[in-house]
């Protein structure tokens, strides 16, 4: 069972063919997608897409969106989580976190929203899906102060020590398109060496295209596209399999188990899908 633990199906890049994108993923063997929100204005759409396509979702405010958010949006998050507390498709609070790479962002505002959303997740008893970009140590510091029931460090690109620290706190680490690039030596080494219980697979579609979809800046300027889709997940999984010496079937099974451990509601959702299909 292939599970894409991070797909932005609500992104405008999918407006023209969203149904076909989901159908192609299913045809490729991807059984489940997790759709994280990035801002309060998107909560309703993400929830509706998950219901319409039999998928899972998470609600949160992304660090790249906090400059346009208000504290009222934190209240909206609390209210949305409370309203959906019995919805089996709600699996996490996310995408939340810190981004210390993009210039011009207010670090204090990011930290305020990060800490507030950790508290909201803790109070809701939900795991979190974390945005990690040059911010692993700061994220870990927040998690040590505000304990949440684990989750996923999305698109992980930190050190081995940081990876181990996240794992100690009950987190799984997301590996996707970046792992497929031969020059991504640190990511590939982590994917190969971490305990089998740590990696989960993701696409971050439409972003982080794998190597076979990547286009250079010159190619993009000439009009070449490089949209990532969840149908790429099995091929991304095959890269993880090669790095670890697993078969694709072993990789699908192990990463699915890891996703269930990170986001416990996912397992019940997939079991219900099996029963309905029987």
Query: 130-189: per-residue pLDDT in tens?
Result: 999 999 999 999 999 999 999 999 999 999 999 999 999 999 999 999 999 999 999 999
Q: Evaluate if residue 81 carries a pLDDT over 60.
A: yes
Element (H, E) at 35: strand 30-36
Give the confidence band of 219 by pLDDT, cuts at 50, 70, 90. confident
Tell me how long the chain is: 278
Q: What is the pTM of this model?
A: 0.96
Average pLDDT of the chain, as a whole number: 96
In this prediction, residue 266 carries a pLDDT of 97
Q: What are phi and psi of 105, to 5 degrees?
A: -85, 150
pLDDT at 277: 63
pLDDT at 215: 77
Q: Give yes or no for residue 278 having a pLDDT over 70.
A: no
Tokens 């090669």, residue located: 242
Residue 195 has pLDDT above 80, yes or no: yes
Q: Is 194 helix (H, G, I), strand (E, B) or coil?
A: coil
- Annotation: binding site for a divalent metal cation: 6, 8, 95, 131, 154, 204
**Domain ranges across the chain:** 2-277
User: DSSP code of 205?
Assistant: B
Q: Residue positions in the annotated binding site?
A: 6, 8, 95, 131, 154, 204
Say what percent of the chain tops pLDDT 70.
96
Which residues are within 8 A (CB) of 143 and not within 5 positions of it... i.e. 6 or more apart? Answer: 118, 169
Band the pLDDT of 75: cuts 50, 70, 90. Answer: very high
**CATH number corresponding to 2-277:** 3.20.20.140
CB distance 37 to 9 below 8 Å: no
Cα atoms in the 13 Å half-sphere on the side-chain side of 277? 8
State the Cα–Cα distance between residues 63 and 100, nearest whole angstrom: 10
Model confidence band, residue 119 (pLDDT cutoffs 50, 70, 90): very high
Is the per-residue pLDDT at 272 higher than 80?
yes
pLDDT value of position 112: 98
Residue 167 to residue 158: CA distance in whole angstroms: 12
Model pLDDT, residue 158: 96
Q: What does the pLDDT read at residue 274?
A: 79
**What value does the mean pLDDT take over residues 95-114?**
96
């Amino acid at each position: 069972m292939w599970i894409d633990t991070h797909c932005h199906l609500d992104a405008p890049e999918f407006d023209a063919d969203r149904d076909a994108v989901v159908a192609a993923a299913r045809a490729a063997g991807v059984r489940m997608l997790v759709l994280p929100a990035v801002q309060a204005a998107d909560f309703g759409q993400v929830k509706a897409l998950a219901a319409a396509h039999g998928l899972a979702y998470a609600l949160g405010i992304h660090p790249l969106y906090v400059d346009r958010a208000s504290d009222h949006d934190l209240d909206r998050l609390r209210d949305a989580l409370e309203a959906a507390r019995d919805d089996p498709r709600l699996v996490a609070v996310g995408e939340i976190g810190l981004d210390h790479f993009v210039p011009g962002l207010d670090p204090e505002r990011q930290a305020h929203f990060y800490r507030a959303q950790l508290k909201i997740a803790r109070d809701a008893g939900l795991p979190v899906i974390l945005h990690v970009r040059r911010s692993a140590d700061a994220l870990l510091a927040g998690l040590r102060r505000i304990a949440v029931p684990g989750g996923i460090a999305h698109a992980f690109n930190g050190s081995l020590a940081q990876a181990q620290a996240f794992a100690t706190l009950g987190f799984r680490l997301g590996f996707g398109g970046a792992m497929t690039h031969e020059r991504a030596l640190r990511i590939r080494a982590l994917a190969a060496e971490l305990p089998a219980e740590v990696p989960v697979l993701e696409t971050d579609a439409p972003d982080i295209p794998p190597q076979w979809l990547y286009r250079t800046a010159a190619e993009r300027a000439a009009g070449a596209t490089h949209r990532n889709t969840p149908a790429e997940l099995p091929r991304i999984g095959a890269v993880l399999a090669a790095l670890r010496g697993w078969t694709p079937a072993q990789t699908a099974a192990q990463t699915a188990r890891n996703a269930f451990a990170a986001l416990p509601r996912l397992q019940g959702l997939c079991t219900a899908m099996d029963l309905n299909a029987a």
